[in-house]
């Protein structure tokens, strides 16, 4: 049985850990409020962009952009797919990263007949798949580590994915995005969305019932060549905002559970320490009494 001094050291160590977990919970809660505000503020921009593209698509039904309709498949050609996986740069956030990795592995199992490559956004995904027999196309680290999303990083990721899709040598047939969708601080759901090709149905889903009359100074190919990459970048930006909010919510929940577990451990160790101390005192009393009777 451990001594009283050892138990006191363990209680002191657990108390120090509880202070850290409580502080991390408070920081995550403060950042979560701002992160949810960013997610909410980004939605009207996405809806308006889809509305404009939907109206433009109805006015040019015969225009076929590669980002909208996809590539022409050759017979015997093995489909090439890119999966952009968004994970966290830090740990201590419960099952946030684990659920994403499991979803990515399930995606790979369901697409064994295709040539799948990964674009890893976040340190945790990079650390995991570096040691696995998968093809990693690119890595982006430090994108969401500060709790904020830089537009410069989003543009870089979006332009690289569009360039992969439009490549003349080995074009990518489809691009998917896997991230955690923020539901609440207690609930995050892994979501797989198809980025490319966008699909005319998805664009026209954002159109309004009333056909708004626009005056176009450029032909459709110029308009689409500008707006479609912006739509891809906006989808990536929104996914990163969702991921940041989900990470903060998961970390807040995990640190709250850790603090409660630490309190339970402290109570158990204190009870054991009191029993050990009581047994020590009882043993000393017995030794004193036995010595007195011997005299």
Tell me which of 93, 254, 258, 269 is the catalytic residue.
93
In degrees, rounded to 5, the angle at the alpha carbon of residue 91 between the alpha carbons of residues 42 and 261 is 110
- pLDDT above 70 (res 83): yes
User: Is the model's pLDDT at 84 over the cut of 60?
Assistant: yes
Closest CA to 12 of 214, 295, 285, 262: 262
Report the pLDDT value the prediction gives residue 199, as an integer from 0 to 100. 62
User: 133-149: per-residue pLDDT in tens?
Assistant: 899 999 999 888 777 88
Could you give the CA distance from residue 113 to residue 78 in angstroms, rounded to a whole number? 8
Count of helices and strands (H, E) across the chain: 7, 5
pLDDT at 189 over 80: yes
Is 93 part of the annotated catalytic residue set? yes
Domain that holds residue 201: 24-254
Residue 203 pLDDT: 56
Q: State the pTM of this model.
A: 0.84
Decide if 62 is inside a domain: yes
Average pLDDT, the chain: 84
- In this prediction, residue 57 carries a pLDDT of 66
Query: Within a domain: residue 42?
Result: yes
Q: Do the domain assignments include residue 71?
A: yes
pLDDT value of position 76: 63
Domain count, the chain: 1
Q: Does residue 184 fall inside a structural domain?
A: yes
Phi, psi of 84 (to 5 degrees): -90, 110
pLDDT: which is higher, 251 or 52: 251
User: Does a structural domain hold residue 286?
Assistant: no
Rounded to whole angstroms, the Cα distance separating 215 from 131 reads: 54
**Which pairing describes strands 80-86 and 187-196: parallel, antiparallel, or unpaired?**
unpaired
In a domain, 10, yes or no: no
CATH number of the domain where residue 48 is located: 3.40.1380.10
Flag the least confident range among 114-123, 167-176, 230-239: 167-176
Q: Does 53 fall in a domain?
A: yes
Closest CA to 178 of 167, 186, 189: 189
198 occurs within a structural domain: yes
pLDDT at residue 209 tops 80: no
């Amino acid at each position: 049985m451990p001594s009283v001094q050892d138990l006191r050291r363990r209680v002191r160590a657990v108390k120090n850990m509880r202070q850290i977990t409580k502080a991390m919970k408070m920081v995550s809660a403060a950042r979560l409020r701002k992160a949810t505000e960013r997610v909410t503020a980004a939605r009207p921009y996405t809806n308006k962009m889809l509305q404009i593209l939907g109206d433009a698509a109805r006015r040019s039904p015969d225009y076929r952009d590669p980002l909208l309709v996809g590539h022409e498949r050759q017979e015997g050609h093995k489909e090439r797919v890119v999966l952009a996986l968004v994970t966290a740069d830090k740990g201590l956030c419960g099952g946030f990263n684990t659920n994403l990795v499991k979803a990515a592995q399930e995606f790979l199992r369901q697409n064994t007949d295709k040539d799948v490559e990964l674009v890893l956004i976040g340190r945790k995904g990079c650390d995991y798949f570096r040691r696995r027999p998968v093809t990693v196309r690119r890595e982006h680290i430090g994108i969401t580590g500060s709790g904020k999303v830089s537009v410069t990083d989003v543009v870089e990721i979006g332009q690289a994915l569009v360039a992969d899709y439009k490549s003349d040598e080995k074009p990518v047939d489809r691009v998917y995005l896997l991230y955690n969708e923020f539901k609440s601080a207690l609930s995050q759901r892994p979501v797989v969305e198809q980025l490319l090709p966008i699909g005319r149905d998805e664009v026209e889903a954002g159109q309004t019932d009333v056909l708004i009359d626009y005056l176009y100074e450029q032909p459709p190919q110029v308009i689409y060549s500008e707006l479609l990459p912006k739509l891809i970048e906006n989808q990536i930006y929104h996914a990163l905002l969702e991921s940041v909010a989900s990470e903060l919510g998961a970390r807040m929940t995990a640190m709250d559970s850790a603090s409660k577990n630490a309190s339970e451990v402290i109570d158990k160790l204190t009870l054991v320490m009191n029993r050990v101390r009581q047994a020590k005192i009882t043993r000393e009393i017995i030794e004193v009494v036995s010595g007195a009777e011997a005299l």
